[in-house]
Amino acid sequence: MRTISLWQPWASLWLSPAKLHETRHWATPYRGPLMVHAAKKFVKDVEPELSTILDDEFGWCWDSDLPTGVIIGMVDLVDCVPTDDLYYGRNNLSVDELIDKLCGDHDWGRFAWRRGSYRRFKQPIPYRGHQSFFDVPEAIVKAQMEASELRAA
């Protein structure tokens, strides 16, 4: 199954209601199921606004509780648009849009990968990550996919 590694805490955020878009410096034509791997890299020094979102989503010990070096869930990748088209020039953002914007790098020239439904695995799966997309055998994630709850976008 197609997989991507993301640094924590953004990997976990993308598998939460807070983060609808993952932002990248590259676009992708791929649409469909995408496993989310939490890389070993963990950024703990984040902006205060993002820290508040993380506290709300994962508790105040998120910086020691979120897993690394594991596959933590799956998203349905439904779209990829330039960040320039997403929030720029809009002054009437909803609360959800403001939170999503705080959860990513929406600088000019980047791309926002929109997820539809998502599932966070009950038990993270140890796996070595890679840059860009990489494939993980479906047998490795099958049990966790069946045991986890599918959540709407």
DSSP assignments along 140-152, one per residue: HHHHHHHHSPPB-
**Euclidean distance between CA atoms 153 and 151, whole angstroms:** 7
Q: Tell me: the pLDDT tens digits for 49-83?
A: 999 999 999 999 999 999 999 999 999 999 999 99
The residues pairing with 24 across neighbouring beta strands, listed in sequence order, are: 111
Residue partners of 19: CB distance under 8 A and separation at least 6: 10, 13, 99, 100, 103, 104
Q: Tell me: the pLDDT tens digits for 102-139?
A: 999 999 999 999 999 999 999 999 999 999 999 999 99
What are the sequence ranges of the domains in the chain?
Answer: 2-147
The residue with tokens 């034509």 is 29
Q: Are 116 and 107 in contact (CB under 8 A)?
A: no
Q: Are 101 and 57 in contact (CB under 8 A)?
A: no
Residue partners of 69: CB distance under 8 A and separation at least 6: 38, 39, 40, 126, 127, 128, 129
Q: What is 2-147's CATH number, 2.60.40.1930, 3.40.50.2300, 2.60.40.1080, 2.30.130.30? A: 2.30.130.30
> Is the model's pTM score more than 0.85?
yes
